[in-house]
């Protein structure tokens, strides 16, 4: 049985702050429950925005200091990685991690709930709705694309396919 008061759980939040409670919902909300974090992840996942300036121009008009703070927190929480942009020494490129990619179904469910809960929402929306409406299988395919873009590996399914292909080739040799 897992010790709920382990040091591991106490490091889940930024700057090693002690969580308000050890409820799984609370632990999640402490990471992405503010006004901006899921919108930043949405823009990275759905619009492939990976630079600070690209994230700054979202429709919701996040302030630059808030964006900077949230990006630092997302990196510290392991939801994003940050690396220098080889094309411009003052820019950074942010990438999703497996941890953040795994939030896509949550974001899809929130989007679907929001569309159903707001009767004035336009019924015809951007093409991304086809993926949201496609359910778990469509989400899994989209997540594979995110893994390829952000992790550069094609994700677990692509890795399994490569291993299976290599195994068949070795067996045939």
What is the pTM assigned to this prediction?
0.76
> For residues 103 and 46, what is the distance between their CA atoms, to the nearest angstrom?
12
- In the chain the domains, ranked by start, together with CATH numbers, are 34-172 (1.10.10.10)
- Say what the pLDDT of residue 7 is: 41
Low-confidence ranges of the chain (pLDDT < 70): 1-16, 123-125, 153-171, 173
- Say what the pLDDT of residue 97 is: 97
> For residues 75 and 96, what is the distance between their CA atoms, to the nearest angstrom?
9
> For residues 71 and 79, what is the distance between their CA atoms, to the nearest angstrom?
9
Residues 95 and 81: beta-carbon distance below 8 Å: yes
> For residues 58 and 105, what is the distance between their CA atoms, to the nearest angstrom?
21
- Say what the pLDDT of residue 18 is: 81
> For residues 162 and 141, what is the distance between their CA atoms, to the nearest angstrom?
17
**Token representation of residue 146:** 């995110």
- Say what the pLDDT of residue 3 is: 41
- Say what the pLDDT of residue 9 is: 40
């Amino acid at each position: 049985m897992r010790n709920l008061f382990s040091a591991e759980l106490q490091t889940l939040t930024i700057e090693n702050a002690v969580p308000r409670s050890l409820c799984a919902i609370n632990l999640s909300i402490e990471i992405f429950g503010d006004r901006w974090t899921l919108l930043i992840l949405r823009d990275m996942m759905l619009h492939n925005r990976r630079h600070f300036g690209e994230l700054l121009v979202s429709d919701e008009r996040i302030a630059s200091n808030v964006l900077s703070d949230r990006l630092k927190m997302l990196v510290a929480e392991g939801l994003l990685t940050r690396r220098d942009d080889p094309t411009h020494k003052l820019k950074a490129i942010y990438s999703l991690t497996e941890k953040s990619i795994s939030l896509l179904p949550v974001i899809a469910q929130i989007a679907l709930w929001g569309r159903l809960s707001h009767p004035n929402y336009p019924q015809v929306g951007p093409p991304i709705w086809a993926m949201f409406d496609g359910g778990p299988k469509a989400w899994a395919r989209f997540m594979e694309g995110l893994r390829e873009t952000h992790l550069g590996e094609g994700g677990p399914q692509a890795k399994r396919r490569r291993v299976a292909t290599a195994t068949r080739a070795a067996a045939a040799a």
